[in-house]
Chains A and B, each alone.
Chain A
Amino acid sequence: MTEEFEGMEQLRKIRAGDVRTASRLIRNLEDELPEAKSAIRRIFPHTGRAHVVGITGSPGAGKSTLVDALIASFRKREKTVGVLAVDPTSPFTGGAILGDRIRMQRHAEDPGVFVRSLATRGALGGLSKAVGDAVHVMDVMGKDLILVETVGTGQQEVEIINHSHTVIVVLVPGMGDEIQAIKAGIMEIADIFVINKADRDGSHQLESELMSMLNMVPEFQGGWRPPIVRIGNCFEPGPFGESLEELAAVIGDHYRRLVETDLLGDRMRRKTMVEIHEALRDAILAPILKEMTESGEMEEIAGRLLRKETDPYTIAAEVARRRLK
């Protein structure tokens, strides 16, 4: 079989929704196999249909529980759902426990739901490097909605903004200086705020602090003021279900607003920019670094730097002059 034929076959299977083929391609992307790049070349023209929703928030905020509940409510609306759930890789062993899935296992047998766990493998932005392309894969499978759960985040892990159309920031009361954390970074990326475990003390205070912060924003892009949705205790199915319906509706509203105001194009362009940067880095920088490492030049440069014979900027200029004619 020719490579071309195998590639077309792979594309056909993924477009038909074949889970094994899709999951294996995602794995090839994680492992950065060369053939994964050609696969993305083939599927790329077919992407752009799905609504991509990012879910972020501090560790244990209830993101996975929320994703599980959202799957259920979108399935009720007869939407197919893809989930990419990211958990951290241990920097010491390179291994990872991917535990988000535990909360979503009741959907395991539903052919309209595809849950795939990813490890960060050293990526710092709260996601895995493969997540952008994995979203493309699920998109081409025909998933209407793709939910991307980040690792539990602090203030800096805002990479999710580059990969989603709608970002949900999950907050919980009683974690101390919540607002402090949101001010620095996470605040700017939210399209929807969820106050989770709203049955707990402090949820009203958190809500009013959020409100007063939003009141200070002079103007919202596309006139969308991020709504605050209170989600009750997940162990009380009635009220929990109701607030979930509200959240699902707000997610739909946001998507419609993006389409109406052409902000969707903006969001897609943002992702494209990131993809170009990554692709250029892989195509131009990575081979140079590889060669410099393998030839021992890197070691030699490190030595010169340590002896203060030169500085990083001079080195960079030299390498650029030599390699990028």
Chain B
Amino acid sequence: MAEKKIRIMVAKPGLDGHDRGARILARCFRDAGFEVIYTGCHQTPEQIAAAAIQEDVDIVGLSCLSGAHRYLFPRVVEILKEKGAADITVIGGGIIPDQDFPSLYDAGIKAIFTPGAPLDTIVQWVRTNVQPRNE
């Protein structure tokens, strides 16, 4: 039997062109042995959720540096739930003020990482909290 791998999607919702962090993360997840689907910038929450389902990912990582995370992140969780894919973990990162954390957690975002978060901490979080097929 071949090895089961974590499939992760890295996506940038909204009109935010800061893709440096997302690209770095995509590479770092690959180096951790994950299969990474990178969908690029300017994605609507609907596109992100649809792609996550088509790709059968275990986890979606949203990156937002524009300030629109308060609407965009919860919306992705909501659509996944509507489509019967609530088992897909959603995490986020970027420029996110501390005071927004509680409401994002309430909305179902499982973890948030801000500038300076060490890459191995992020990878370790995924390894600890996500199993392939969330079994």
A binds B: yes
Q: A20 at interface (Cβ–Cβ under 8 A)? A: yes
Contact A90 B51, beta carbon cutoff 8 Å: no
Q: Which residues of A contact B84 (CB under 8 A)?
A: 20
**Pair A90/B30 contact, Cβ less than 8 Å:** yes
Residue of A19, A26, A33 with most partner-chain B CB within 10 A: A19
- Interchain CA distance A115-B51 in the complex, whole Å: 8
Flag whether A108 is at the interface (Cβ < 8 A): yes
A109 near B: Cβ within 8 Å?
yes
Residue A252 lies at the interface, judged by CB distance under 8 Å to chain B: no
Closest to B43 in A: A105
CB–CB A32/B40 < 8 A: no
Contact between chains at A96 and B35 (CB < 8 Å): yes
Contact B2–A101 (Cβ < 8 Å): no
For the complex, give the distance between the alpha carbons of A108 and B9 in Å. 14
B31 near A23: Cβ-Cβ < 8 Å: no
In the complex, number of A-B residue pairs with CB atoms less than 8 Å apart: 95
- State the interface size on chain B (CB cutoff 8 A): 34
B133 touches A121 (CB 8 A): no
What separation, in Å, do the CA atoms of A20 and B85 have in the docked complex?
9
Q: A109 touching B47 by the CB < 8 A rule? A: yes
- List the B residue with the shortest CB-CB distance to A83: B54
From 41 to 88 in chain B, residues with beta carbon under 8 angstroms from any chain A beta carbon are: 43, 46-48, 50-51, 53-56, 84-85
- Residues from chain B with Cβ under 8 Å of A93 in the complex: 30-33
Beyond A23-B55, A31-B4, A108-B50, whether A102 also contacts B30 by CB under 8 A is no
Cβ of A27: which chain B residues have Cβ within 8 Å of it?
7, 56, 133
**By the criterion CB–CB under 8 Å, are A114 and B47 in contact?**
no
Chain A residues near B47 (CB, 8 Å)? 105, 108-109
**Interface pair A109/B46, CB less than 8 Å apart:** yes
The 8 A CB mask of B1-33 against A (1 = contact, 0 = none) is 111110100000000000000000011011111
Residue interface mask A310-321, B partner, CB < 8 A = 1 = 000000000000
- The minimal Cβ–Cβ distance linking B33 to chain A, given in whole angstroms, is 5
Indicate which residue in B2, B26, B37, B55 contacts A121 across the interface (CB closer than 8 Å). Answer: B2
6 extra A-B contacts, CB within 8 A, seeds A26-B56, A105-B39, A115-B51: A23-B54, A27-B7, A95-B33, A97-B30, A97-B36, A109-B47
A sample of 9 cross-chain residue pairs with beta-carbon separation below 8 angstroms, ordered by A number, consists of A19-B54, A20-B56, A20-B85, A30-B2, A90-B30, A90-B31, A96-B36, A98-B38, A117-B35
